[in-house]
Amino acid sequence: MDALRLMLELFLMPLVAFVIGLAMVLLMRRIGARLQRRVGPPLLQPLWDIIKLHGKETQTSHGLIHEIGIVMAIGGFVAAVTLIPVPGMNGLAEQGGLIALIYMMMIPSLGLALGVGQCANPNGSIGISRALTAMLAYDIPMVIVVFGIAFFFGSTNLVQIVEAQQAGGIATWGLVEMPLLAIAGLFAMQAMLGKQPFEIYIAPAEIATGPMVEMGGKFLGGLFIMQCFQLYTAGALYTLLFLGGGENWLTFLIKVFGVVAIPMTIAFLFPRYRTEDVVRLVWKWPAMIGLLGIAFLMY
């Protein structure tokens, strides 16, 4: 019975994540439209985009690794989603823990790098080298934040972390207990989602969307699906670490959407930094704030 329940959860969790992710993509585009005083896309626009891209009649593949790279990009996030406990479903969260989750969230970038490498397009190579440099940049504050959380709760088990936060209401939320780490985490999340001002690896005007330059049809469709999972993973992870997870689906969804809306709102007001500036900025400010937060926790 337990195995059956686990199978059901492993099937349902990515599905739920995908649907929520679609809504988040819509949220992102609507926020952008509102800030630019436009109407914005209709309700099911993200879904139509994905269906259309997979329904293309000619697909330009650049070889086997190109296709495997996309599968890795989606698969990494699907694996990550099963490690994130949501109300009513724990999936593999008990067994996996925070460190496995952070590890899984790096796989999509590596898969994308493999796939783009096979395309042999110079714009793509520049884009992916910038993307991996950005990953190196935001992973340092990310690891600092994760270390601080694990130190504070004395556990890397996400289920326990959430339970500890829900024990005393808002007063025991990570956000209240560790405000400096929460700020650093939000900063790192902005870079992790690749939103402006940390958007250099996509850079539509200069390097023609970077890693996505040779991706058409189902490959771009795969990346759109990946984006849905990416938004959900980032929002849910932040919610679990700092906002006490969700007591039920309603509060969980409110928190997750609220968290994702913050970087989106900031994003559309900014141009972008150069790669070296991103590294300098992210290694300086969020990393320093995070270290300061840990120092406050320890003494």
Partner 1 sequence: MTEVTKTPAAGDALPVKTGKRTNPLANVFDELVRFAQSRSLFMLHYCTGCGAIELPPAMTSRFDMERLGIQPMVSPRQADILLVTGYVSVKTLKRVILTYEQMNSPKYVIGICSCTVNGGMYWQSYATAKKLNDYMPVDIYIAGCMPRPEAVIAGLRGLIEDIRRGTADTWKDYYRRYDHYLGNQQRLFGEDWQTPTDVIAEARHYGLFGPGTLGERTALLERHQKPLEALEMKLDIPELMARRSGLGSKGRTEVK
Using CB under 8 A as the binding rule, whether residue 23 contacts partner 1 is answered as: no
Applying CB under 8 A, the span of 15-23, 58-66, 108-116, 171-179 interacting with partner 1 comes to 58-66
Using CB under 8 A as the binding rule, whether residue 117 contacts partner 1 is answered as: no
Using CB under 8 A as the binding rule, whether residue 61 contacts partner 1 is answered as: no
Q: Which is nearer to partner 1, 206 or 277 (CB)?
A: 206
Cβ at position 34, least distance to partner 1 in Å: 10
**In angstroms, what CA-CA distances link 136 with 143, 165, 182, 213, 297?**
11, 30, 20, 22, 25
Using CB under 8 A as the binding rule, whether residue 296 contacts partner 1 is answered as: no
Cβ at position 133, least distance to partner 1 in Å: 21
* Burial degree of 193 (CB within 10 A; 0-12, 13-18, 19+): buried
Contacts of 277 (CB under 8 A, 6+ apart): none
Q: Which is nearer to partner 1, 39 or 298 (CB)?
A: 39
Cβ at position 267, least distance to partner 1 in Å: 16
CA 241 to chain CA centroid, nearest Å: 14
Using CB under 8 A as the binding rule, whether residue 172 contacts partner 1 is answered as: no
Cα separation, 189 vs 208, whole angstroms: 24
CB 291 within 8 A of CB 151: no
Among residues 92, 215, 278, 289, which is the contact residue for partner 1, using CB under 8 A?
A: 215
Q: Which is nearer to partner 1, 55 or 258 (CB)?
A: 55
Using CB under 8 A as the binding rule, whether residue 291 contacts partner 1 is answered as: no
CB 273 within 8 A of CB 217: no
For partner 1, how many residues bind (rule: CB under 8 A)?
34
**In angstroms, what CA-CA distances link 4 with 1, 10, 178, 200?**
5, 10, 38, 45
Cα separation, 42 vs 26, whole angstroms: 8
Among residues 81, 137, 144, 213, which is the contact residue for partner 1, using CB under 8 A?
A: 213
Cβ at position 75, least distance to partner 1 in Å: 22
H-state helical runs in the chain: 2-35, 45-54, 64-81, 93-104, 107-119, 122-153, 158-166, 174-177, 179-192, 217-242, 249-267, 275-298
Among residues 10, 31, 33, 68, which is the contact residue for partner 1, using CB under 8 A?
A: 33
Among residues 7, 15, 19, 55, which is the contact residue for partner 1, using CB under 8 A?
A: 55
| Tokens standing for residue 227 | 């984006």
Binding site for partner 1 (CB under 8 A): 29, 33, 36-42, 44-45, 47-49, 51-53, 55-60, 204-205, 208-209, 212-217, 220
